[in-house]
Structure 1
Amino acid sequence: MISYPTLPSSVSRRSNGLPVNSVSIALALGCILAGGGLQALTFNLAFSIIGVVLGVLVLLSLKMCNSWQRALVLRAGKIQGLRGPGLFLIIPFVDQVTEVVDQRIRTVPVHTRQTLTRDTTPVDVDAVVFWMVHDPLRAITELDDYEGSVSMVALTTLREVVSSSDLAVLLEDRRRIDDQLRDLIEVKTREWGVTVQAVEIRDVQLPDNLQDAMSRQAQAERERAARVTLASAERAVAVELAAAAKTYEASPIALQILQINRVFEMNKNRGTTILMPTTMADAMGSATAFAAAVQAATQTDSEAPSV
């Protein structure tokens, strides 16, 4: 059954208005208390009414945006501009704060399922898009839902790039794919007042049978490399043995001394008895005598007094 991709989910940071802030509440309470105090001094109810009316007007007219927010103000349906950050005034019942835009960098996860690459390999790709609103007025007035539009553009662009790339490129050259995705998405969203900071591919999932085939291929490559290394070592050993054979051919006594050394190495730890042919023993005996003579001559030379 074909699995169709779902829309990427993102946490919305849009607001249709501003909450009542602490500054306007404090000023409104001050107006109400001042009106109540004047009423207590003059015994005139009008001061309390005026204080309540002023407090309500302060609550309705004094708004505040955070440093990362911008508020769109409409006056009788016409755009008056953006307000914020900080405190600003509006005309109650005439002005209206319709949208509040968060200008911090946001992340949108993008998931594609069973997307065919250029070499017809189905893959599942997960990516993250980092973006921000650099022009809140255009983002609000030109798009009904700029967050959903960015998500849709990121999804379709990711599918296009995956479909036009080989599997090897997706697995080995992710940095170039990330840059290509960022450029393509930004071209489409720049006119909306949205800037794409970066795109990062988090994971590329392959089908199980393809993973098994790639694992077997990698194992075969490692085995081939091991055999080539072993063959190279054997060839080097053969070259050295050929050179040693020429040396032993030129000096039979050296070969006999080597044989004696091998017998000694075999017998020194195990304490075993070795049976050798008489001719081989005689040859070793002459070699031993020759070696002893050389050693004695060396000692005699070393002990001779110097003139």
Structure 2
Amino acid sequence: MQNITVFSLVIFFFVLIILANSIRILREYERGVVFRLGRLGTNGVRGPGLILLIPLIDKLVKVSLRTVVMDVPPQDVITQDNVSVKVNAVIYFRVIQPEKAIVEVENFLVATSQLSQTTLRSVLGQSELDDLLSQRDKINHKLQQIIDSNTEPWGIKVSNVEVKQIDLPQEMQRAMAKQAEAERERRSKVIAAEGEFQASQRLADAAGILSSEPSALTLRYLQTLREIATEKNSTTIFPIPIDLLKPFLDHYKDKKE
């Protein structure tokens, strides 16, 4: 009787071990790639929920379907116009075909990271510094297309690539600061010259109107005197037309000759 009890306990524990190795529970964002005797069957991708496996025959590999945010380490890049910069980026991707991500590549995370680094150096090396600084969206889109086309056979979808930071050499930063300062000074001079030009045009128009209407010149003269008087000044300025002084100047000139 005691031998039967021991045998029953052994059978019970053996069944528990088999069940523990046969049952898997996958979360909503997980999928399981099942290999049966080393081969991937037609129903090789399972989940989420409860998964039943055949012990010693089936082997399960879990794959997460969540979006992975991966930092691309800083890369030393020489742009097309021979400027040395250090650039880092971030890449967003997710697994859409778990069976390819396991079968087609040994480690899809490492493979994607290495591909992103080489692509970053290649694309930025074909761009000039001004394009790298001003056309960031265009470069990001180009990086995303190239990386996504190369990771597609691995069952990976690259949704976005963003260049995070561009570190310039100190001498290049000083040169760009001088260029920006010179550009601001040029704009200020152009704006001042444009203002002088517009003011001269208005003055010419006003002079034409005053010359055609002598009474307007008198009214302007009286208005100027009124403005001077409001300042509580004891000095009053009377403008003298040049025509009044012309006879005296001519007489002095004739006498001198």
TM-score w.r.t. length of structure 1: 0.68
1:60 aligns with 2:34: no
1:85 to 30, 44, 48: 48
1:226 aligns with 2:185: no
2:151 is matched with: 189
CA distance in 2, matches of 1:279, 1:217: 51
Residue 45 of structure 1, CA deviation: 5.6
1:148 is matched with: 110
TM-score w.r.t. length of structure 2: 0.80
Residue-by-residue CA offset, 1:72-96 (whole Å, 9 max, x unaligned): 3334444453332221222223433
Long gaps (5+) in structure 1: 1-38, 284-307
Q: What does 1:105-144 correspond to in 2, within 5 Å?
A: 105-144=67-106
1:245 alignment partner, SS class: helix
2:81 alignment partner, SS class: coil
Which has more radius of gyration? 1
Residue 215 of structure 1, CA deviation: 2.3
Residue 114 of structure 1, CA deviation: 3.0
Residue 53 of structure 1, CA deviation: 3.2
Long gaps (5+) in structure 2: 245-257
Structure 1 pair 236/58, CA: closer, same or farther in 2 (3 Å)? same
1:13 is matched with: none
Residue-by-residue CA offset, 1:251-304 (whole Å, 9 max, x unaligned): 4443333233222212213x2211556979xx9xxxxxxxxxxxxxxxxxxxxx
Question: Hey, which of these two has a bigger chunk of strand by percent?
Answer: 2
Structure 1 pair 113/62, CA: closer, same or farther in 2 (3 Å)? closer
CA distance in 2, matches of 1:278, 1:194: 86
**What percent of counterpart residues are identical?**
31
Residue 119 of structure 1, CA deviation: 0.8
**For residue 201 of structure 2, what is the amino acid of its counterpart?**
V
Q: What does 1:1-307 correspond to in 2, within 5 Å?
A: 47-80=8-41, 81-97=44-60, 99-269=61-231, 271-276=232-237
**For residue 110 of structure 1, what is the amino acid of its counterpart?**
V
2:162 alignment partner, SS class: strand
